[in-house]
Structure 1
Amino acid sequence: MVRIVGIAGSLRPDSYSQLALELAAQKTQELGAEVEVLDLRKMNLPFCDGGDDYPDYPDVKRLQDAFTRADGLILVTPEYHGSVSGVLKNALDLMSFDHLAGKVAGFISILGGQSNNNALNDLRVILRWVHAWSIPEQVAIGQAWKAFSPEGKLLDEKLSQRLEQFAQSLVENTRKLRGVD
């Protein structure tokens, strides 16, 4: 079975990034994948200092272990100042090639303004650097403050279809590239 882990790089209580992650996880599960969502808002992670060991922070090991077990990744980031959030970058920096290499990754960005690909492109560079595979499908949710219904669903049908295509691509490419059913 395809095992996916997802994280969102936002610490806001009412995070649109976390909401998008939950939607993507649900769609991925509907396709038969096992999905583990880690909520960085509930984890105690230090700033990465370049070291390999963080004994005072058991959540670092929990994060690393989840990524080690996973075949694929869902990474969601708000776009801050034209790039990936520091929260997501720090979580990725706390991991090494051992945790990330060979994984299949899909990316979603959340923007307060118009959709663009800056943070998504930066995630591609970061994940390529650690030898992960990036799927071609990606989702940018612009003007997030009006993109979701009060129930947490995407209001734009085309955007919802893109999220379904994203999930389909993540599961199919993970099966192919990781050799799992």
Structure 2
Amino acid sequence: MVRFVGIAGSLRADSYSQQALVIATQRLEALGAEVERLDLRTLNLPFCDGGKDYPDYPDVDRLRQAFHQADGMILVTPEYHGSVSGVIKNALDLMSFDQLSGKVGGLISVLGGQPNSNALNDLRVILRWVHAWVIPEQIAIAQAWKAFGADGKLQDAKLSERFDEFAQSLIENTQKLRNVT
């Protein structure tokens, strides 16, 4: 079985990034994948200081272990000032090649304004640097305040189809690149 871990880089209580992560994980689970969703809002993570050990922060080990055990990852970030959020960057910085190298990633960004690929491109650079593989399908959710209904579901059928295609590609490419079924 293909195993994924997902994180969203937003700390807001009513986070659209968290909603997008829930939808992505549901689509993967519907296709038979196992998904662990870590909520960075509930983990006690320090700012990365470049060190390897964080003995006062057991959630660093929890984060690292979840990524180490996964075949692939889903990363969702709000776009802040044209790039990824500090929250997701810090979580990635707390990990190393041991947790990220050779993994397959699927990327989603959430924007308040018009669609663009700035945060997605920055995530691609980060993952390439740690020798991870990123699928070509990506999702940029523009004007997020209009994309989700009060129930957390997507309002646009075409965007919903993109999530289906994203999930299918993430599973297929992970199976190929990680040699898992």
Report the TM-score, using the length of structure 1 for normalisation: 1.00
Q: Which amino acid aligns with 2:165?
A: Q
**Alignment map for 1:150-165 (pairs within 5 Å):** 150-165=150-165
* Aligned counterpart, 2:175: 175
What is the aligned length? 181
* Aligned counterpart, 1:5: 5
Q: Matched residues in 2 for 1:101 and 1:170: separation?
A: 16
Q: CA deviation at 1:146?
A: 1.0
Instruction: Point out where structure 1 has 5 or more consecutive residues left out of the alignment.
Output: none
Q: Please give the secondary structure, in 1, of the residue aligned with 2:136.
A: strand
Q: Matched residues in 2 for 1:80 and 1:151: separation?
A: 25
Q: Which amino acid aligns with 2:39?
A: D
Q: Matched residues in 2 for 1:95 and 1:178: separation?
A: 20
* Aligned counterpart, 1:129: 129
Instruction: Point out where structure 2 has 5 or more consecutive residues left out of the alignment.
Output: none
* Aligned counterpart, 1:85: 85
Q: Which amino acid aligns with 2:29?
A: Q
Q: Matched residues in 1 for 2:111 and 2:47: separation?
A: 24
Q: CA deviation at 1:147?
A: 0.6
Q: Please give the secondary structure, in 2, of the residue aligned with 1:40.
A: coil
Q: Please give the secondary structure, in 2, of the residue aligned with 1:134.
A: strand
**Alignment map for 1:1-181 (pairs within 5 Å):** 1-181=1-181
Q: Which runs of 4+ in 1 moved over 4 A?
A: none
Q: CA deviation at 1:25?
A: 0.1
Q: Which amino acid aligns with 1:38?
A: L
Work out the percentage of aligned pairs sharing the same amino acid.
76
C-alpha RMSD of matched pairs (Å): 0.4
Q: Matched residues in 1 for 2:83 and 2:75: separation?
A: 13
Q: Please give the secondary structure, in 1, of the residue aligned with 2:41.
A: helix
Q: Matched residues in 2 for 1:112 and 1:2: separation?
A: 33
1:36-84 per-residue CA deviation (whole Å, 9 max, x = no partner) reads 0000000000000000000000000000000000000000000000000
